[in-house]
Amino acid sequence: MDKKLPDISELPESQRILLRRGGKIKVPSEKTIGFLKLYNKNIRGTIAGNAVYAILNPEKIDEKFRKENQEKIEETLNNYLKIALKDMNKQIDLHKVNENICLFDEGIGLGIYVPKLIQQYFRKESTYFSDLLYGAKYNRNLLNLSVFSKILSKNIRNFTDHVNIDYLIFMPYSHKGSKSFFPLEIIEKEIQKQVNIPIFRIINTSQQENLKYSTWAHKIQSILPNLRIDNPEKLKFKNIILIDDIYNTGAHLAVACIKLRQASVNNIFVLTLGVSDNVKNDLSNEFDWEWLDFYNERKETNMITTSLSLITLNYPLDTINKKTSHYNLKDYGIKELLLTNTYLKKMFRIHVRYSSNRRSYVLFIEPELKEKLKSFIGK
């Protein structure tokens, strides 16, 4: 008489996860692979050195588990919205998080990420958001990745409520090394099913050096030769959203922006899941979505400009350029206006444009900040 298969709940945790979600796990022997095939015939085995692995494509999991996973995704998403956002996550203005020059027009981070090492050595508390992101990025948690795909899709649609978006670009990895798991590539496939905006790809050719502990300037010099844009004419005068997983120094994004500026894009917006924990988390760096209306070319009059003061400051262009010259970004074709704009955004809610004679700057600024700005410029 045939023995009844044990219920899946009686299997080791790693095997339960494999059958429910798919993926790759190490198993004791080839016999274990044969045993697991009794639960799902699509499981296959592979041998690497002395190790045996069982593999199941997530698309081949049983329908009952697929339905169960979908319910878990919805549950986790609800937990994210209820707990993580309430816990610590306002949408963060990336112009405000560090002193490095940002070469995008507007940037938004969805939450603060506290790495495990920082938690351990500096006794910083983690958050639900951080644990969710860590699981997605480093523990191959496909459930968490599906959650973040939904979160990113929601925020992409928030962008389109304010400004027309022509392309999404997911940041290529600057250093793949021996990695075989790339969360952004999985998220990209999920988002393509949820958002009707075409994907444009930037290619990373041969970056081998791990730049994790390098300076901002060294990162830019190392990454720049390895990023390539094919068919740049497609990007001319287009609005772009650059999507990344974690924002730290911003050097990798800066290089991508340099390449995109050279392709004559119109506006670059950045959307990132996490912001490294070395930032202040208060109202001063919270992003206001209505600020995107400044870029809305579908309206004859932007609503936001009616609530801002338009002033002209007559001073030499070099006044602020001297403050940013040590970055040498003009060598890469970055215009003075962009450097001025991103520099002042760190101190004020402001948009900078050239005056008609191009000898001074026109600034859109909140009226109550006018005297504070003039005092700052006069330093």
Q: Are residues 162 and 191 in the same domain?
A: yes
pLDDT tens track for 117-135: 777 777 777 777 788 788 8
Cα distance between residue 151 and residue 133, in whole Å:
12
Collapsed DSSP state (helix, strand, coil) of residue 105: coil
Edge to edge, the sheet with strand 44-48 lists 23-27, 51-56, 44-48
Q: Are residues 189 and 162 in the same domain?
A: yes
**98 falls within a domain:** yes
Q: Are residues 219 and 352 in the same domain?
A: no
**300 falls within a domain:** no
pLDDT confidence of residue 342:
80
Q: Give the mean pLDDT of 71-97.
A: 69
- Report the helix count and the strand count for the chain, using DSSP H and E: 13, 13
CATH number for position 138 = 3.40.50
**297 with 280: CB under 8 angstroms?**
no
Identify the domain containing residue 342 by its residue range.
308-377
State which of 69-83, 251-265, 284-298, 300-314 shows the largest mean pLDDT.
Answer: 251-265
Collapsed DSSP state (helix, strand, coil) of residue 168: strand
Q: Each residue of 276-309: b (16+ CB within 10 Å) or e? A: bbebebeeebebeeeebbbbeeeeeebebeeebe
Percent of the residues in the chain that have a pLDDT greater than 70, as a whole number: 77
**Looking at 33-37, 191-195, 202-206, 311-315, which range is the least confident one?**
311-315
Q: Are residues 144 and 284 in the same domain?
A: yes
- Structural domain tally of the chain? 3
pLDDT confidence of residue 233:
94
pLDDT confidence of residue 241:
97
> Token match 């306002």: residue?
90
Q: Are residues 56 and 87 in the same domain?
A: no
Average pLDDT over the chain, rounded to an integer: 79
**Lookup: tokens for 375:** 């005092």
Cα distance between residue 109 and residue 117, in whole Å:
21
Q: Are residues 29 and 153 in the same domain?
A: no
**Looking at 51-65, 164-178, 241-255, 273-287, which range is the least confident one?**
273-287
Collapsed DSSP state (helix, strand, coil) of residue 186: helix
* Residue 279 zone, left/alpha/beta (φ > 0; ψ -120 to 50; rest): beta
**56 falls within a domain:** yes
**80 falls within a domain:** yes
pLDDT confidence of residue 1:
43
Cα distance between residue 170 and residue 187, in whole Å:
9
pLDDT tens track for 297-353: 665 555 666 667 777 665 555 555 555 554 566 666 677 777 778 877 877 777 877
Domain C-terminal end among 294, 322, 344: 294
Q: Are residues 227 and 267 in the same domain?
A: yes
State which of 144-158, 213-227, 231-245, 327-341 shows the largest mean pLDDT.
Answer: 231-245
Q: Are residues 136 and 26 in the same domain?
A: no
**Lookup: tokens for 349:** 């809610």
Residues contacting 352, CB < 8 A, separation 6+: 337, 340, 341, 344, 361, 362, 363, 364
pLDDT tens track for 198-217: 999 988 776 556 677 777 77
Annotate 2-27 with DSSP letters as a single string: PPPPPPGGGS-HHHHHHHHH-EEEEE
Nearest to 100 by CA among 371, 362, 324, 368: 324
